[in-house]
Structure formats: structure tokens, C-alpha cells
Structure 1
């Protein structure tokens, strides 16, 4: 996996392995959630956000609250797909990521994933810290 980022948009290259496919030889639908999760995590890491450090130092974690996915074309064994990640909405304690899985520019699947911030031990919703909000706002400009 490799990540390219222009700050506002992250792109993660993912090779489709046998373990990612179903009996029909195409990527199992739920595996797109894994690909999207990896791309979000790597984009945040590229911005300087280590999620383990956030939990330990700021007592904050990101959790998925809602995901909506549209499937258009299948990906197959050995395909190299690119997962594109952008932030579609940034609120006090939530982010909505728009993500796309593409093969050679062809849209395979797209998703809107709402992520909220929670306290690392109580799991109750909390606001984004000013430092994280500033980092995200800088990336979005």
C-alpha cells in the first residue's frame, strides 16, 4: 500500500489479494469497508495524527457512526485499486469522509462515512480538540 496526499485529498493504492475476494473471484463487498478504513487512517497519519497517541494523550478516539456505500463495478484478484479520501463535512464532533475506490480512473465503489469523536474510556461523544480541528482545517484549505 502506498499513500499519496495533497493534504485535502488522500489516495491509497491497494492490491487485491485472494483473501479479499469471494467465491466469484471479485472483492467481497464488506472488504471495501476495510479498504476505506485503511485509507482514512493513512490520510490522518499523513497529516500528523497518530490515533494511538490521540487516545493516550488527548483521550480521544474516532469511531464510525454511519456508512453508506454504493457499488458500481467489481474489483478482481490482482487489481490495483486506488482509494481516494476527502472530508465532505467537519463539525464539532463529527467528520464525514467521502471515499471512492477506483481502478484506472473507473469508479468501483463510493462511500460517505460519518466518524464521530468519543472519549477513549467512556466512549461518550466529545468535541474535536482545537489542535485537531486546526490540523484538519489546514488540510482542507
Structure 2
């Protein structure tokens, strides 16, 4: 089994925080979304090209997030993303957010996505996309064509 984790850095800006300087809970999901986009980019995939070439996109169907320690204004964070499942029309990521300064785990999430067509109906992940992601899948037994 190979292991591939993409790490994406982010700085917490004032706009990411509540009035107490703590990252607003929904913004962790935004950080994770950006990190998943960078994960796909590292696999040679661009979301806009997937949509224009194959007529599909990915929609979040489930987000299970666990908040452990708050991030604060001006901290540097690392968002780690792992692709842990790819089946039919579904893919799942495990993501973790760490504070760069001391490596403390702040937030972790399991995010599930469905491949859908422009009309909103579910579609199998295109073969070319599956092939690009296959080497980035951390649990080979989860892969099925």
C-alpha cells in the first residue's frame, strides 16, 4: 500500500476569524476545500478542466468534522489531504489541519463527494480521472473501476 498525502499551507487572516480572533468553524471547511483542489492539482487534475472535458463535477455529500483546538488570527496552518476511497461515483478524503508552529492537530474531517453531471444526476468518475487519482489513493483495496 502506498501512502500519498498532499499538504497545503494557509495563513489565518482576520476575515477568517470571529470577533475573538478564533477561526469561525465554517472556515475550516473552506480551508479543506482549497486543500482538496490543490490535491487534485498535484494529481494533474484541474476542476474546471474536468467539468469542461467530461461534463462532471464533484459535490460534497457528507462532511464529518471534529474540532479539537481552535486556530487563531495570523497563525500558519498546514492542511493535509488524503484520498481514502474511490468507488463508482464516490470519492472520500480524510483531512487534518495542524498548526505549523508546534504541529498540534486542530481539526480533522472526513469529506465524501459524489461525481455529478451538470444536470445534477450522479455519474461514474470518468476513467481518465480515476487513472490520474489511482496512484494518489492511500487504501488500494478501496479502489474499484
- TM-score, normalising length: structure 2: 0.89
Equivalent position SS for 2:135: helix
**1:140 Cα deviation (Å)?**
2.5
Select the residue among 118, 122, 140 that pairs with 2:119: 122
Give the match for residue 102 of structure 1.
98
| Alignment gaps of 5+ in structure 2 | 139-145
The whole-number CA distance in structure 1 between the counterparts of 2:54 and 2:39 is 19
Q: Secondary structure at the match of 2:136?
A: helix
Runs of 4+ in 1 over 3 A off after TM superposition: none
1:107-129 superposed Cα distances (whole Å, 9 cap, x missing partner):
1000000011001x211000011
Aligned to 2:137: 140
Q: Tell me by how many angstroms 1:10 deviates.
A: 0.7
With normalisation by structure 1, the TM-score equals 0.91
SS at match of 2:98: strand
Q: Distance in 2 between matches of 1:11 and 1:116?
A: 23
Question: Counterparts of 1:77 and 1:136 in 2: how far apart (Å)?
Answer: 34
RMSD: 1.5
Paired residue for 1:31? 27
- Structure 2: how far apart are the matches of 1:139 and 1:114? 16
Look up the match of 1:113.
111
Instruction: List gaps (5 residues or longer) in structure 1.
Output: 1-6
Deviations 1:63-114 (A, max 9, x none): 1011010000010111000000001211111111000000131110000000
Per-residue Cα deviation, 1:26-53 (whole angstroms, up to 9, x for no partner): 0000000000000000110111111111
